Amino acid sequence: MGLLRLANGTVHDPANGVRGEIRDVWIDGGKVVAAPADPAAAVGRVVDCTGLVVMPGGVDMHAHIAGPKVNIARKLRPEDRRDHPPFHRTNLLRSGTLGSTPTTFATGYLYAGLGYTTVFDAAIPPLGARHAHEEFHDTPVIDKGFLVLVGNNHYALDQIGRGERDRLRAFLGWLLTASRGYGLKVVNPGGVEVWKQGHNGMAGLDDPVDGFNTTPRDIVREVARAADELRLPHAVHIHCNRLGMPGNWTTTLDTMRAVEGHRAHFTHIQFHSYGGGPDDQDTFRSRVPELADYVNTHPNLTVDVGQVLFGDTTSMTGDGPLGYYLHKVTGRKWFNGETECEAGCGIVPIEYKEKSVVNALQWAIGLEWYLLVTDPWRVAMSTDHPNGGSFLAYPEICALLMSRDYRRGVLKRLPQKVRERCSLADLDREYTLDEIAIVTRAGPARILGLTNKGHLGVGADADVTVYTPGADLKAMFELARYVFKAGELVVEQGEIRSVPFGPVLVTRPDFDRGVLPHVRDWFESAYSLAFENYPVGAEYATHGETEVRCGSAS
Ligand SMILES: [Zn+2]
């Protein structure tokens, strides 16, 4: 067995300053290695990449692909699968169904086909961790991990309300370890709990959370602080309060200030950037320029977009009150869920229409974010799959970012009011291939603190995507020429060639175990299961784990 040589490709590896240079990538044992002293003697297999574009494998930092909520969405929408032809079993592939919430096997195949090799589920209640790991077991090719919901966790809220910072930090460290999770997520912090108590769950940053002597502002600040003190690879991941509400941009800006200089990632920021009067769709407009200015001048902050694409999809969220709101607005069937002591959930089918001023503005507002954040390292591509659209829309977003003419062509079809209420028509910026490589792989890998992903330097995981460049940008990104996962050829011209299973990415921060008796007592009084039965055992990591060390993020 010699080395694998990807020869003479045009390499885009922005993390290592390689911007479209013709060079080789050498691979050995699943890792990128240095070129050998005697290439002729060392090479085992050569893949000719002449004329092709070589990038690290894609990294999706915010999607919903596993766990209770995704599975319920599959059950809620049989029509979604009837409308899309299924995968049939072959010698290599398992059968599966498609639509906005593909089955586990289909999810792995589809991501791999797009050239994505690492994907994070963004919202798992710790009590749903076992379920998420079970579905990861059946999700082929990609490496995967998840963020645990903590922004409405009763124990966490109680410690925040009491000013018990040390106990909060230790609990969150334990929770990540016990769930075999990767990062901390807050969803409508405090608001979901208020909603579960029967009140308005769309309240503002300083409204009280009854029974916990705290506010959303306190929760955001304290979890951000704990994530930094635990030295987690990824900052606190924030889904702000008042998602989707006209006028919510002030809440978003206040939340950016509320982290008080700690690292913070603001997710699906598109849904949080709206001007206009409360519940007044006639004044609905973009406030991206003001928010992007704030992000541009605060290097502690990063965002992913949550781009909306036109068409039918399924909204699914840990934001229970938002699910209720969407059900009222659309009149469509819905599911509402509760996870004891931890979280909520709402699922509603949704269709984004070109003719709708609000939907068309959401589409434009997402694109404004990509074009107004000056540093591409701090804005990651996402559709909040499947909330704004499927991850299968990423090639379409690449085309919209790289071609001003294509973008303007779509904008022209939309209601006139869209051009009046956002800045998109005035934005000339066109993304380069390097910038696409940043927002789809190098940037999200860095934001997540994945030191072995998103680049092709020596020691990186040999996850590599090779595209055929062409004038049709969407087609270029839809049909990967080759995809290598840990050095193994998994996709060739859009066809799956082999089906390895990637490990789960976890982090295990050091925490003060002295907190555990206190947590245990609380479990006895609050949960319907025993403390001892809560942690997820190693037997759930069936395809192995990769532990990303705390303190390794730059
Ligand atoms: Zn999400």
Interior angle at CA 217, CA 212 and CA 218, nearest 5 = 50
Q: What are phi and psi of 33, to 5 degrees?
A: -125, 165
Query: In angstroms, what is the span from residue 522 Cα to ligand 1's centroid?
Result: 29
Quickly tell me which residue has 């909330």 as its tokens: 387
**Looking at the whole model, is its pTM more than 0.95?**
yes
Residue 328 in tokens: 């009222």
Query: In angstroms, what is the span from residue 385 Cα to ligand 1's centroid?
Result: 7
Query: In angstroms, what is the span from residue 325 Cα to ligand 1's centroid?
Result: 16
Predicted local distance difference test score (pLDDT) of residue 41: 78
Query: In angstroms, what is the span from residue 466 Cα to ligand 1's centroid?
Result: 28
Query: In angstroms, what is the span from residue 187 Cα to ligand 1's centroid?
Result: 9
Query: In angstroms, what is the span from residue 382 Cα to ligand 1's centroid?
Result: 9
For the domain bounded by 55-496, which CATH number is listed?
3.20.20.140
Query: In angstroms, what is the span from residue 487 Cα to ligand 1's centroid?
Result: 30
* Close Cβ partners of 72 (under 8 Å, ≥ 6 residues apart): 335, 337, 345, 347
Residue 406 in tokens: 């294509």
Query: In angstroms, what is the span from residue 243 Cα to ligand 1's centroid?
Result: 11
Query: In angstroms, what is the span from residue 89 Cα to ligand 1's centroid?
Result: 30
Query: In angstroms, what is the span from residue 80 Cα to ligand 1's centroid?
Result: 20
Query: In angstroms, what is the span from residue 63 Cα to ligand 1's centroid?
Result: 6
Name which of 549, 551, 546 is nearest 120 in CA terms. 546
Query: In angstroms, what is the span from residue 424 Cα to ligand 1's centroid?
Result: 24
Query: In angstroms, what is the span from residue 438 Cα to ligand 1's centroid?
Result: 21
Query: In angstroms, what is the span from residue 32 Cα to ligand 1's centroid?
Result: 32
Q: Residues lining ligand 1 (ion), CB within 5 A?
A: 122, 384
Query: In angstroms, what is the span from residue 192 Cα to ligand 1's centroid?
Result: 15
Query: In angstroms, what is the span from residue 315 Cα to ligand 1's centroid?
Result: 9
What is the spatial distance between Cα 10 and Cα 268, in angstroms, rounded to a whole number? 32
Residue 385 in tokens: 């799959």
Query: In angstroms, what is the span from residue 435 Cα to ligand 1's centroid?
Result: 23
- Reading phi first (left if > 0) and then psi (alpha if -120 to 50, else beta), residue 482 is in beta
Interior angle at CA 479, CA 474 and CA 484, nearest 5 = 130
Query: In angstroms, what is the span from residue 259 Cα to ligand 1's centroid?
Result: 20
Q: Are 274 and 249 in contact (CB under 8 A)?
A: yes
Name which of 431, 524, 520 is nearest 178 in CA terms. 520
Query: In angstroms, what is the span from residue 524 Cα to ligand 1's centroid?
Result: 32
Query: In angstroms, what is the span from residue 303 Cα to ligand 1's centroid?
Result: 12
SS (H, E, C) 451-506: CCCCCCCCCCECCEEEECCCCCHHHHHHCEEEEEECCEEEEECCEECCCCCCCEEE
Query: In angstroms, what is the span from residue 421 Cα to ligand 1's centroid?
Result: 26
Query: In angstroms, what is the span from residue 395 Cα to ligand 1's centroid?
Result: 19
User: What's the residue count for the chain?
Assistant: 554
Predicted local distance difference test score (pLDDT) of residue 553: 57
Query: In angstroms, what is the span from residue 538 Cα to ligand 1's centroid?
Result: 27
Query: In angstroms, what is the span from residue 162 Cα to ligand 1's centroid?
Result: 30
Q: What are phi and psi of 64, to 5 degrees?
A: -125, 105
* Close Cβ partners of 71 (under 8 Å, ≥ 6 residues apart): 131, 135
Query: In angstroms, what is the span from residue 343 Cα to ligand 1's centroid?
Result: 14
With a cut of 70, which residues of the chain have pLDDT below it? 1, 552-554
Query: In angstroms, what is the span from residue 515 Cα to ligand 1's centroid?
Result: 31
Domain borders along the chain are: 55-496
Query: In angstroms, what is the span from residue 549 Cα to ligand 1's centroid?
Result: 25
Query: In angstroms, what is the span from residue 24 Cα to ligand 1's centroid?
Result: 37
Query: In angstroms, what is the span from residue 37 Cα to ligand 1's centroid?
Result: 47
Query: In angstroms, what is the span from residue 319 Cα to ligand 1's centroid?
Result: 9
Predicted local distance difference test score (pLDDT) of residue 554: 47
Query: In angstroms, what is the span from residue 61 Cα to ligand 1's centroid?
Result: 10
What is the spatial distance between Cα 320 and Cα 346, in angstroms, rounded to a whole number? 5
Query: In angstroms, what is the span from residue 386 Cα to ligand 1's centroid?
Result: 8
User: Tell me, what amino acid is at 24?
Assistant: D
Query: In angstroms, what is the span from residue 265 Cα to ligand 1's centroid?
Result: 13
Query: In angstroms, what is the span from residue 417 Cα to ligand 1's centroid?
Result: 28
Predicted local distance difference test score (pLDDT) of residue 2: 82
